[in-house]
Amino acid sequence: MSQKIDVRSSFIAPASSSSDVLGRPTWAEIHLDHLTGNFHALRARVGPGVKILAAVKADAYGHDAVIVARHLEDLGCHWFGVALPEEGIALREAGVTRPILCLGGFYNDQASLLLEYGLTPTIYDRGMLEKLDAAARARQRVASYHLKVDTGMGRLGVPLAELEEFLDRLDHYSHVRMDGLLTHLASANEPRQDEFTRRQIERFHQARELVRRAGHQPTYYHLASSAAIYAYPESWGNMVRPGGALYGLFSAAPELRPVMSLHTRIILVKTVPAGAPLGYGGTFVTRRESRIATLPIGYQDGYCRAFSNTARVIIRQRYAPVVGRVSMDLTLIDVTDVPGASVGDEVVLLGEKDGLSVTAMELARKAHTISYEITCGISRRVPRVVV
């Protein structure tokens, strides 16, 4: 029988148990077999000459960065990408040893922490370079960094027009070394923006040539995130940065499977008459005598209020609609058409079961957002359970 491990409490229970997690029966499952398959699919896509930097920022898009990074490290992932040094430090303290790139750079006096924990920063202005150089000089060592160029995203990065001047001043910093050059593509997932994306790729090649002429030889050149890995092979460089594709949140590649599923159990079933308003504001009114089930999950858990009266769940091999407003801690579903639905029944709010599925893309459409925000939004009070 398969086992499920609650990484928060180390509680182990058979997959069919009625108490899969301690306390409230609401949990998210992290399917490591799907993560393995997605990683191998990406590995096959880019080939052996291109390294993979797995984006595990934002707690691995809500999947639990420690769980994900440890597993991907075992699979041979080359690098990990985080947004903040704090995220990188957490991985180091959890035993992750592969190189970690802080994609958002660092703040204030964090340069010494980068050196202490073996983190590589992204640099995009001279002030950061000065701090990193000073921290490395104090430790009598040379610190590596990746230089970010802004080719059209408009966020972080040295503007291409200012890059030559920036490079001319690098000789002032003797205790740092440019080991990577990167940019970020703004619209690789938008076919209508193809011309803009290709201009960004061309600008990156211009930046690479300027770096070469200035006498620098970075080990890594990278600009492709998930969408570009599939749509723009010419953007691969010698390292790619998949995020959503790793977690099965990328619909353009059907071979990728969702890594997260979200589950709960019915805690109450009641019969209500026709004409009964349900939930805050009475936004749903029953049109018939109905059986209404209460679920112990709400928008504080990341099950969005936007799902009110729009989303569906899976229970007993059938779909059941969400009715009334999703509240902070509780959600109602209509189980009138689900024979035998009762307290303790498992409900799948995100995921696949019995040939039915509720995808992150489907929920994202309900909330007028993207699939990444759905998994990122599952809060930390929902335990992640490794399957």
- Annotated catalytic residue 57: yes
- Annotated catalytic residue 299: no
3-class DSSP state for residue 245? coil
Nearest alpha carbon to residue 332 among 281, 300, 291, 301: 291
Q: DSSP labels for 18-78?
A: S-SSSSSSEEEEE-HHHHHHHHHHHHHHH-TTSEEEEE-HHHHHTT-HHHHHHHHHHHT--
* Structure-token match 């997260």, residue found: 260
AA letter at 74 = D
Q: Count other Cβ atoms within 10 Å, centred on residue 138.
A: 12
AA letter at 342 = S
* Chain length of the chain: 387
- Cα separation, 363 vs 369, in Å, equals 9
Angle of helix 194-213 versus helix 160-168 axis, rounded to 10: 10
Catalytic residue selected from 51, 230, 247, 280: 280
Show Cβ contacts of residue 57 under 8 Å, excluding neighbours closer than 6 positions. 65, 81, 82, 83, 84, 87, 103, 104, 243
Proportion of the chain in helix, strand, coil states, percent, rounded to 5: 35, 25, 40
Show Cβ contacts of residue 144 under 8 Å, excluding neighbours closer than 6 positions. 120, 176, 177, 178, 179, 180
3-class DSSP state for residue 337? coil
Q: DSSP labels for 275-324?
A: T-EESGGG-EE-SS-EEEEEES--GGGT--GGGTTT-EEEETTEEEEEES
In whole angstroms, what separates CA 157 from the centre of its chain?
Answer: 22
Catalytic residue selected from 4, 57, 131, 148: 57
- Cα separation, 27 vs 265, in Å, equals 10
Catalytic residues: 57, 280
